[in-house]
Chain A
Amino acid sequence: MTERIKKIIDTESILPGKSQSGMLHNIEVFTDRYKFILGVILAAALVVLPFVMGDQYLLTVTVKIGAYAILAMGLNILTGYTGLVSLGHAGFVAIGAYTASLLSVNAGADFFTSTLAGMVVAGLVGVLLGLPTLKVTGTYLSIITLGFGEIIKMIAMNWSSVTNGTLGVKNIPKPEIFGIEMTVGNYGMYYLMLALVVLTAVFCLMVVRSKTGRAFQAIRADEMASTMMGINITGYKILAFVISACICALGGSLYATVIGYIDPNTFNFDVSTLILSIVILGGMGTIRGMFVGAAILIAFPEVSRFLMEYRFVLYGVILVIMMRFRPQGILGWKSTLPYKLNSKVRAEIEKIEAEEKEGD
């Protein structure tokens, strides 16, 4: 243990700016050291949460927060890591929600099959929306995504024979596992949400901590320099669109089954900006931030009912103040801990260092 602390102090001395972010550093060291215990506590808390909460309404809000956390994680891959701002992600949510709901309502497919189908469709459309990145960049790309969101809404509205038009899809069945219907009442919906959130988070983590994630971040930081590193810019941008679309479709399908009813206006421009606001408020390019962002922005209208109409004014005020004083988001900070090397790599490096010493 003392060895480890010494090492931390060592690395601290080479990290600049430690004094100004001293507290953050201490917190990071603390969470890193006790991450196993903290993880167990968090997991236990999440598992017993519905029993403590009990209340149907609170639980529904919690599941909604989970669904939005998934949506935010999806957009985060595109906007947070790759730096492409989408203003039309409600479109992907709609594709996922509609495909899954229609399959389960009309064809009797179960939740998991229909969700998967929704993700595949969204992924294919993601390729399509990613293609303009060949020619269009920056704000103009955001504008195309905005148009995309509106067009998906239009299709949902007008393709009545399939989508039921403005009437929407009603009585979306709840998911079933081994014949047991998962509802908010029997906590099944909560645990399903929890499982999907964890799955999505792990998936995002795996993507981000690989050469794919590094390529995404390189593109965000400097496209020209990335090109010169041999990164296939268009390919990775399209990949980011596809991953993002699939995750959002998953979130959309979950959302539809929780609410039980969708119509074209469930997925309007406000939903796109809400997802984007969650990503930014939580902290772009972090996964932890998505949970906090979703919790705040989804719970806010619920807990502030006493403010009546003024709560929506306040929602705008929160966004403005956040951007002014903490644009990187609530949990958006750069880690002050050293870059993590696994034991194998560390052993290898020590070997090289030892050889070097001998050579001298």
Chain B
Amino acid sequence: MLIQQVFNGLALGMGYALIAVGYSLVFGILRLVNFSHGSIYAFGAEMAMVFIGFQFGIVPGIIAAMVLTGILGVCIDKVALEPLRKKKSMPIASLITTIGISNIVTQLLIVSLGSEKRNFPALFNFGSIQIGNIAVSSTQIMMCVVSLALMMVLVFIVYKTKIGLAMRASEQNAKAANMMGINVNFVISFTFFLAGVSATIAGVLVGSYYQIVYPNMGYMAGLKAFAAAVLGGIGSLPGALLGGLIVGVSESMAATFLGSTYRDSIAFIILIIVLIVRPHGLFGRKGITKV
């Protein structure tokens, strides 16, 4: 029972980790909590659903959804956030803007697709593997495999490519990076694109796991993934993965052993404890007070 729940939690946690990556990447560069990310995740899942419905193949459909969602992320930044950066507005203005955007995206989804839950095809259902009395479904295995692969791709992009170097430079000091000839605005756009793409993959995986998607699916998942990102140390990719797994496992444990009404809050309890003990998360860096 316990080990079974750990496995269920790990699969779920991989999904959170993929959403958490989006929070983490954007926070790393902009020091901004992008509250619209949950709605971007829902948008990605819904678009995948729509494109798969067009019957031109599942994989091309998912890729189309990924690209479209990535573009949505870039547009959000260009239309709403970049002007605020140019004006050097207060951080809270950007925060409220992302809350507004989240509203716009979710409500537009509701207006155009309806607010009801729709069946999402079980994409990776090839039965399940039985090890002792633990059942691991192929969907869960796929979730882990795809998520880990994507994580590795992201780590490769951030640490081994030129654009990744530019991302890390912009994260350290955007002004200096700009003076070194890095097009910081392009780096930010690219980051939003990556965040959108990984959110879509998360949406597809989680959608096919539960076999439902709906416009508000990003609300709770977004908040919890955000908790995961902070938990691991926001701005750190391994941190997002670890945070996602912790949130996923604790959630599935809480749901089983405490009752389903606890599942949504356990992440926040862990989050608060971790932040009080380690104010910058598990993998976060600490700075010295400069006067």
Q: What residues of chain B lie closer than 8 Å to A154, measured between beta carbons?
A: 261-262, 264-265
Closest residue of chain A to B229, judged by CB?
A143
From B3-11, B98-106, B130-138, give the one contacting chain A: B98-106
From A57-65, A168-176, A312-320, give the one contacting chain B: A312-320
Pair B80/A316 contact, Cβ less than 8 Å: no
Complex Cα distance, B269 from A144, in Å, reads: 9
Interface of B is mostly: helix
Residue from B80, B87, B93, B268 in contact with A147 in the complex, judged by beta carbons closer than 8 Å: B268
Take A277-B96, A313-B111, A323-B96 as given contacts and tell me if A143 and B230 are in contact as well, using a CB distance cutoff of 8 Å. yes
Q: Smallest CB–CB gap between A206 and chain B, Å?
A: 26
Q: Smallest CB–CB gap between A182 and chain B, Å?
A: 35
Pair B279/A136 contact, Cβ less than 8 Å: yes
Decide yes or no whether B60 CB sits under 8 A from chain A.
Answer: no
Pair A319/B265 contact, Cβ less than 8 Å: no
Complex Cα distance, B103 from A154, in Å, reads: 24
Decide yes or no whether A102 CB sits under 8 A from chain B.
Answer: no
Residue from B92, B93, B102, B280 in contact with A316 in the complex, judged by beta carbons closer than 8 Å: B102
Decide yes or no whether B150 CB sits under 8 A from chain A.
Answer: no
Decide yes or no whether A198 CB sits under 8 A from chain B.
Answer: no
Pair A157/B261 contact, Cβ less than 8 Å: yes
Decide yes or no whether A30 CB sits under 8 A from chain B.
Answer: no
Residues from 143 to 177 in B contacting A, C-beta threshold 8 Å: none
Pair A140/B280 contact, Cβ less than 8 Å: yes
Decide yes or no whether B256 CB sits under 8 A from chain A.
Answer: no
Decide yes or no whether A188 CB sits under 8 A from chain B.
Answer: no
Residues from 85 to 113 in B contacting A, C-beta threshold 8 Å: 87, 89-97, 99-104, 107-108, 110-111
Pair B272/A319 contact, Cβ less than 8 Å: no
Residues from 263 to 297 in A contacting B, C-beta threshold 8 Å: 269, 273, 276-277, 280, 284
Complex Cα distance, B291 from A316, in Å, reads: 39
Q: How large is the interface on B (under 10, 10 to 19, 20 to 34, 35 or more residues)?
A: 35 or more
Pair A140/B279 contact, Cβ less than 8 Å: yes
Pair A320/B269 contact, Cβ less than 8 Å: no
Complex Cα distance, B84 from A320, in Å, reads: 10
Pair B92/A150 contact, Cβ less than 8 Å: no
Q: What residues of chain A lie closer than 8 Å to B33, measured between beta carbons?
A: 139, 142-143
Pair A316/B275 contact, Cβ less than 8 Å: no
Pair B92/A324 contact, Cβ less than 8 Å: no
Pair A316/B101 contact, Cβ less than 8 Å: yes
Closest residue of chain B to A269, judged by CB?
B223
Take A85-B95, A147-B268, A280-B92 as given contacts and tell me if A316 and B103 are in contact as well, using a CB distance cutoff of 8 Å. yes
Decide yes or no whether B221 CB sits under 8 A from chain A.
Answer: no
Pair B110/A309 contact, Cβ less than 8 Å: yes
Complex Cα distance, B104 from A313, in Å, reads: 5
Q: Smallest CB–CB gap between A250 and chain B, Å?
A: 25
What residues of chain A have their CB less than 8 Å away from a CB belonging to chain B? 79, 85, 132, 135-137, 139-140, 142-144, 146-148, 150-151, 153-154, 157-158, 165-166, 224, 269, 273, 276-277, 280, 284, 309-310, 312-313, 315-320, 323-324, 327
What would 8 A/B residue contacts be, using CB atoms closer than 8 Å?
A147-B268, A224-B291, A276-B99, A310-B111, A312-B103, A313-B103, A324-B97, A327-B84
What residues of chain B have their CB less than 8 Å away from a CB belonging to chain A? 27, 31, 33, 80, 83-84, 87, 89-97, 99-104, 107-108, 110-111, 219, 223, 226-227, 230, 259, 261-262, 264-265, 268-269, 271-272, 275-276, 279-280, 289, 291
A-B contact sample (10 more), CB < 8 A, given A280-B93, A312-B103: A132-B272, A136-B275, A137-B279, A139-B31, A143-B275, A147-B272, A277-B99, A284-B92, A323-B84, A324-B97
